[in-house]
Amino acid sequence: MDKLTFLNRLFNERDKFENLVNRVGFARQLTMTGVWGNLSIKDLLADTLTREQFIADRLNEVLHGETHAPCASHTSLENFCRLNDYPDYESPLVKTEERNRLAIDKYKNISLDDIIEQELAAFASIIAALEKLSHNQCLDHDLFHRIAEQTYKPYRRVSAEIHRWLKSIESEAK
């Protein structure tokens, strides 16, 4: 895959995700729990933000000639989380439940508007870094796959949960 094709896919997936979030936001349902377990869309956006910040930071490391090795021990994972304020999403030690808990705990008392603002900034940082990276750097660091894992694949999962939730509340209203 080339960088232009990847960027087009990323923007297309991003547009679908933003349109859905905007539609739900228009109905003022972003903080209602129950979207996924007891989580709200705000909680899922916080998780999305931390994933995007994670990959934005990894892209900036590549730009500066640094390499991130996923945490291989629980101690290194705890230190990484403490230092970065988000988990090492590429570590095999991070479980899905932990990811959501960490993001939710971190952003529990942060306003929805602030989460959205920070999430947009993280996405912009990803795009800015990606545009600076050469095609060979992207291939050498498996960036197309790594970016997809932290951006549009989670967008798809969150969107599926939102659609499922919307159908369930529509059927309850009947």
Q: What are the boundaries of each domain within the chain?
A: 3-66+110-173
Cβ-based burial of 140 (10 A; exposed 0-12, middle 13-18, buried ≥19): exposed
What's this model's pTM, rounded to 2 decimal places?
Answer: 0.92
pLDDT digits (tens, 9 = 90+) for 80-133: 999 998 999 999 998 866 666 777 888 989 998 899 999 999 999 999 999 999
Residue 158 is predicted with a pLDDT of 92
